[in-house]
């Protein structure tokens, strides 16, 4: 299937940092926007760009992240508004590469590259369910030999 992903396609999203997106080890109480949360929001921005612009929201097609190469540059507090940006910078079949960034109104807080792979959700689920069964069979085999 041809998805006709356009190089240069962009998406911008705004979120507000929530207390459950922060680190918990620096000091007691609300902390700073965590790197995993920032990366998750960057990935979702890329996913939504593909889903809304190229994969038809109602279709069986979506995407999963495969590579993340991001620098977290500056700390951001709970309640701050974050502007997330994603731009398609390359495609190769169902592999799509993005430039990503996040800003908090005062400064750039993160930037880098992200790669996603377009999947057919029912086929992906079928393969995943088969793997779950194989892992369960392996676990049962290991338990019976112990």
CATH number of the domain bearing residue 72:
3.10.129.10
Judged against a pLDDT cut of 90, whether residue 142 lies above it is answered with no
Within a domain: 107: yes
Q: How far apart are CA 79 and CA 82, in angstroms?
A: 9
Confidence of residue 60 (pLDDT cuts 50, 70, 90): very high
Instruction: Specify if 101 maps to a domain.
Output: yes
- The answer on pLDDT for 41 being more than 70 is yes
- For 20-36, what is the mean pLDDT? 74
What average pLDDT does the chain have? 91
Note if 43 is an active site residue: yes
Domain assignment present for residue 24? The answer is yes
Q: Domain for residue 51, yes or no?
A: yes
- Domain presence at residue 128: no
Of 35, 52, 66, 126, the catalytic one is 35
Whole-model pTM: value is 0.87
User: Domain tally for the chain?
Assistant: 1
- Across 37-46, 59-68, 120-129, 132-141, least confident range: 132-141
Domain span at 66: 10-120
DSSP state of 107: S
Least confident among 15-29, 58-72, 97-111, 114-128: 15-29
130: helix, strand or coil: helix
Q: CA-CA distance, 43 to 126, in Å (whole number)?
A: 24
Of the candidates 72, 76, 103, 114, the residue annotated as catalytic is 72
Catalytic residue among 22, 41, 43, 114: 43
Burial 69-79 (b: 16+ CB within 10 A, else e): ebebeeebebe
């Amino acid at each position: 299937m041809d998805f006709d992903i356009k190089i240069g396609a962009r998406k911008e999203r705004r979120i507000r940092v929530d207390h459950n997106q922060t680190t918990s080890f620096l000091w007691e109480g609300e902390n700073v926007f965590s790197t995993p949360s920032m990366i998750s929001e960057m990935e979702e921005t890329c996913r939504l760009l593909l889903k809304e612009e190229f994969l038809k929201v109602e279709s069986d097609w979506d995407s999963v992240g495969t590579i993340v190469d991001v620098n977290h540059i500056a700390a951001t507090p709970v309640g701050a508004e974050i502007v997330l940006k994603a731009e398609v910078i390359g495609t190769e079949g169902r592999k799509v590469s993005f430039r990503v960034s996040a800003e908090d109104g005062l400064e750039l807080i993160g930037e880098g590259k992200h790669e996603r792979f377009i999947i057919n959700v029912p086929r992906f689920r079928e393969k995943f369910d088969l793997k779950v069964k194989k892992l369960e069979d392996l676990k049962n085999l290991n338990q019976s030999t112990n």
